[in-house]
Structure 1
Amino acid sequence: MTLSDLIYSLDLFGVAVFAISGAMAARQKQMDPFGVLILAAVTAIGGGTLRDVLLGFDVFWISNNTYLYVILVSALLTMLWPLARAWQYRVLTLADAFGLALFTIMGMERAMQAEVSSLVAIVMGVMTGVAGGMIRDILSGQIPLILRREIYATASLMGALTYSALSYYSLDQRYAMLIAMVVILTIRLTAIRWQLALPNLSSR
């Protein structure tokens, strides 16, 4: 498998898991099938759409409709999945963590194609990772994860910084991507498991 094929496959997988997280959030709120599809779509393509518009690229899902089919199938499977309510939150958080890891690095890859600076690539990566989840949470009537004390955007940022550093030292791109994704997943899942959070800023 070539590097471009690997990146494309990971991008599709990221769309699928973020679509599942969006559909699961809608399912928890007992939305109708149309609401499930909307939340799945905005979660899966929201961040990438904003990234492509800012970078001046053709929006990825407009030029390649495969992404829309992946969203549709993922949303339908989530709606039909006979999952106990006690497991819905676990599936949502796990899918969201994988989506965050995949989209952060895929967002950076896309930005690097525009030959932007490392700082801009990091910003685009984090934005790609968190924007879709923000839209999902707002539409489902929740405070976005990025605005809570949970370690969410911080995990994305640490992974983006890791990938930038490994790329700077010319590590094989496949290994650099894998390591950076593992960093994001490890930080995010550890924070969920042990309920770790950033400290609040006091009035002092």
Structure 2
Amino acid sequence: MLTLLFIINVAGTAAFAVSGALLAAKKKMDWVGFVFIGNVTGIGGGTLRDVILDVPVFWLVDWYYVVICSVSAVITYFATQQISRKSKALLWADAIGMALFSVLGAQKALSLGAEIPVAVIMGVFSACLGGIIRDVILNDVPVVFQKEIYITASLLGAIAYCVCDSLLDIRGLYAVAIGCVVAFGVRALAILTNLSMPAHRGLQ
């Protein structure tokens, strides 16, 4: 189980780093910018989660996460043209990272003894804050604050994992898989159907 969680963590980190690097490509940044934005996206949410939970920041202990982000960003730098031919590559990479980190953030909080509501919030923070920081740095409106169904997908995935693990006694791989499928499934549905949340009409 620990090996599986490690693999999922690495996959989520790499997916987020790639999504950040793809956005750096849209901004026509150099390779240093790719690496920086890739790291901000890949480890930003987890960093703030650990600070809030008052535990050692994960990448200060396991430095290889910075290497994973950096390598993923550099590969994306050289493969951007090939990746860009695939429709909505940025959205899909971000969706994968979001689903994985929603569950991993909740899992870490529960393992530290947090209650379910706190664990759910930590899952959402892990999945969304890195992207928010990335978009703010690049002067974009964060996708989570637009009509996109993103935070909702993350929230549902984190809730599904916590309910399975803490209330239904469905633990380990099965709980992780259910949480990831729920988060990714909701986000994928939104991407494929252009489904979005209703926007406020604004002040009249």
Letter in 1 for 2:133: I
Question: % of aligned pairs identical?
Answer: 37
What is the total number of aligned residue pairs between the two structures?
Answer: 202
Q: Where does 1:97-136 land on structure 2 (aligned, <5 Å)?
A: 97-136=95-134
How many angstroms apart in 1 are the aligned matches of 2:54 and 2:80?
Answer: 42
Letter in 1 for 2:189: T
Gaps of 5+ in 2: none
Letter in 2 for 1:56: D
Give the C-alpha shift of residue 90 in structure 1: 1.6
The residue number in structure 2 matching 1:7 is: 5
Among candidates 42, 48, 66, match of residue 50 of structure 1: 48
TM-score, length of structure 1 as denominator length = 0.94
The residue number in structure 1 matching 2:65 is: 67
Q: Where does 1:1-204 land on structure 2 (aligned, <5 Å)?
A: 3-84=1-82, 86-87=84-85, 90-167=88-165, 168-202=167-201
How many angstroms apart in 2 are the aligned matches of 1:85 and 1:110?
Answer: 32
State the superposition RMSD in angstroms. Answer: 1.5
Once the two structures are superposed, residues 46-93 of structure 1 have per-residue CA deviations (whole angstroms, 9 ceiling, x without a partner) of 000000011111110010111111111101100011525853762111
Of 9-18 and 165-174, deviating more is: 165-174
Once the two structures are superposed, residues 105-124 of structure 1 have per-residue CA deviations (whole angstroms, 9 ceiling, x without a partner) of 01011111220110000000
How many angstroms apart in 2 are the aligned matches of 1:164 and 1:143?
Answer: 30
Moved over 4 A (4+): none
Give the C-alpha shift of residue 201 in structure 1: 2.8
Residues 28, 88 of structure 1: 8 Å contact kept: no
Distance 1:62 1:86, change over 3 A: closer
Letter in 1 for 2:168: Y
Residues 24, 88 of structure 1: 8 Å contact kept: no
